Structure 1
Amino acid sequence: MLRIFDFTFALLGLVFGFPVLLVIYVLGLFDTGSPLFWQERVGRNKKPFTLVKFRTMTVDTASVASHLASTASITRMGGFLRKTKLDELPQLWNVLKGEMSLVGPRPNLFNQDELIAERDALGVYAVRPGITGLAQVNEIDMSMPKLLAETDAKMIAEMSVGNYFRFILQTVTGKGAGDRVR
């Protein structure tokens, strides 16, 4: 049932959001010269997939978790995109393809061994990763692997249509600050 919502909302978001996506893309060309960012992430059943986002950091920034990156790497436009969460919009393509859900655990990098072990122990990888979820609206990010994995497992256990829409609404209305950057 939730996959139907994912597909429908992702398709509608991409179609109706196309003008916004295009404007951000063009502005990104002037900001970094390379407005899109692709990164291999851990997906459902620990299978790799390529996540796509709008670039918020300089092109030469190391491929590490956000909490390990320096704030000096974030561009002026990138700061705005992160604050408004508009950098996440291209992930609607990942949702449409079935690699992600709108609501689920945020996909981590393969080099985040501690988080992978914590999530693995709690069965978090049994579901599609998501754009938002319980951890994101409560400002729990990947800098707290044990708490994040526990929060993800709780969200999965309590997932319902109501919670699905609640997390989306909370995200759209600005609850949660996004990933922390040092």
Structure 2
Amino acid sequence: MSAPNTLYITLQHLKTVDYNTEFHWGLYITGSSPPSRHLLSVTDANPPIMDLRIELREVEDPRRAPTMVVCLKIANSPGLTALHSAASAVRLMDNGQLPHGEPQWTSRVWVKEVLYILAKRGCIQMPWGLDKIERNFLYTANENMLCTGKAKVYNELAWLTRSVDDAIYGPMPIVTKPRSRTELPSKSSYAEAAARSSRP
């Protein structure tokens, strides 16, 4: 069961081809009490195909989704207003704003950009960098593939402390402007890192 006032990353199974599993990423946020629980994601359900749009839905229990694999706590809740503001700040489908090395906008790219903006604004603190978060997230999801449709919810950050093979699970690039962006460092908030990098 999800905990109150928490921000989660969610993964839903899309397909597996030649042992390569594809996931749909989302962000699940809970308030102090039900029904203040929402799933924020991007979708191409409406035409034109691959013209991704932000979708916000009230979801009482994400574990009930038949394709949900895992929900992992990433931070304390920044509040729905702050989350929606950060999500809206991502220039989705603007290829000029694609992170360096990414061929196209996907739910994974969008989630990482939203987390980056939340951390930059000081709305959340993440004790590890986005590369490690993605690496451990995918590792944990692959461990829980048999739980698809009855997803496990991680309410602690212990999943981030595990050692994961970089060669298999990442890292993936997240830099939008390589010369101006500071990656979230190990065991520090982005705001602290940005302050240090701006000092003369």
Superposition TM-score, scaled by structure 1 size: 0.28
More strand by share: 2
Taking structure 2 as the reference length, what is the TM-score of the superposition?
0.26
- Structure label with greater radius of gyration: 2
Structure number having the greater helix percentage: 1
